Amino acid sequence: MKNLLVAAILALSLSLCNLGDRLKDLGKREQNSNQSGNSQPGNQNSNQSNTDVAEGDDVPPPPQPGNSNGGSGAPISGGVLNARAVSLPKPAYPKVAKAAGASGTVTVQVLVDETGKVTSARAVTGHPLLREAAVQAAYQARFSPTKLSGKPVKVTGVINYNFVPE
């Protein structure tokens, strides 16, 4: 129960970090559009930007007719992906980590492509001696393709691996 609570809090914090990055990107886009001559001095377009952020709230925009994601757009957030895996190999427990008494949960942030294959993985929390084993296992995980409006899309999320000494 405690591990589940920790995992949920971690997933929430990662989502908030991703939201912060998206807001930064949105701010850069707004700044670039204002610098390109679309904004007159004294003309305030900031209300539109604020409205866009409030309406988006970490939810991908609905697909527009004729504008298919086709896998080329930004990935959608999937949260904790453990339960959605078709195949989730158990990581090897490194001998060095066992000898050192390292244990606990390692959280790996992954990017899953349109076919369900993990294309990017990096450990974001956990004991340093366990991280590489978790990342290697994450690359072996497989997922059912995620579809948005019938089209396969990329998904970003986390996989949690719990290392328990035997």
Query: Residue 46: CB partners within 8 Å, gap ≥ 6?
Result: 30
Among 73, 89, 47, 91, which residue's Cα sits nearest to residue 146? 73
Q: Is the dihedral of CA 107, 24, 19, 120 positive or negative?
A: negative
The reported pLDDT for the residue numbered 20 is 53
Please state, in angstroms and rounded to a whole number, the distance separating the CA atoms of residues 98 and 101.
5
> pLDDT tens, 36-69?
444 444 433 333 323 233 333 344 444 444 344 4
Q: Determine the 3-state secondary structure of 124 from DSSP.
A: strand
Task: Please name the residue that has the structure tokens 């970090």.
Answer: 17
Percent of the chain with pLDDT over 90: 54
> What would the pLDDT profile of 64-115 be if each residue is shown by its tens digit?
443 444 445 789 999 999 999 999 999 999 999 999 999 999 999 999 999 9
If you average pLDDT over every residue of the chain, what do you get? Answer: 74
